[in-house]
Amino acid sequence: DQQVKQNSPSLSVQEGRISILNCDYTNSMFDYFLWYKKYPAEGPTFLISISSIKDKNEDGRFTVFLNKSAKHLSLHIVPSQPGDSAVYFCAALAPSDKLIFGTGTRLQVFP
Amino acid sequence: KAGVTQTPRYLIKTRGQQVTLSCSPISGHRSVSWYQQTPGQGLQFLFEYFSETQRNKGNFPGRFSGRQFSNSRSEMNVSTLELGDSALYLCASSLDRTGVSEQFFGPGTRLTVL
């Protein structure tokens, strides 16, 4: 049973445009969410996070939006750059302090 | 500051064998977590060790085990390997327990079971 879902396995966006990566979760007890970025042959690196008491967190070109009623979060990257091409994982922190990851979305930014 | 290191980076084993993977956390980090990454399943949590004690465990069979040493280095062991154990095994370290401080991931060990 996948508690954190990323329903789009891949996304292709033109350089300079906005990339929107989506993530849905099922457990209303999750209160902290994170996005990680992973390049091939490297481990994931932390990108941005959001607490459930907020609905938006912004860091440069990256913004995460949280809609608790819909149990949905999204990562916006604007403007998208070729170096953003990677696999993006969303993760939720369970009450047990386990990180529950989604299956990932492969973003490709083309010129 | 050196990052999280994992050895070996690549490993090929046959069914029924056992394997030990090693993870050296960032200096000063006391928590080490292990994850299995397979296509279509994302990263699945295996276990977390903090100050030599297993603090959390995922839903994996008992063939998967781990330990942490006094210097915070951690090993995970998989016995009686199955084909489905082929995956990228990632370890992550954090200063404190998961959820309290940020996790930093190593590059992973890619295990292939033939």
Q: Is the distance from CB of B113 to CB of B105 less than 8 angstroms?
A: no
Q: Above 90 in pLDDT, residue B17? A: yes
Q: Above 80 in pLDDT, residue A4? A: yes
Residues of B whose CB is below 8 A from A106: none
> Which tens digits make up the pLDDT trace of A37-95?
999 888 999 999 999 999 999 999 999 999 999 999 999 999 999 999 999 999 998 88
Residue with tokens 């995970």: B76
- Average pLDDT of chain B to the nearest whole number: 92
CB contact under 8 A, A98 and B98: yes
Nearest to A26 by CA among A8, A51, A5: A5
B58 touches chain A (CB under 8 A): yes
pLDDT of residue A2: 78
Which residues make Cβ contacts (< 8 Å) with residue A95, sequence separation at least 6?
A29, A31
Q: Is the distance from CB of A54 to CB of A37 less than 8 angstroms?
A: no
Q: Above 70 in pLDDT, residue B100? A: no
Q: Above 80 in pLDDT, residue B77? A: yes
Which A residues, 70 through 89, put their C-beta within 8 Å of a C-beta on chain B?
89
Q: Above 90 in pLDDT, residue B4? A: yes
> Which tens digits make up the pLDDT trace of A24-49?
999 988 989 999 999 988 899 999 99
CA dist B52 to A52, A65, B15, Å? Answer: 31, 37, 30
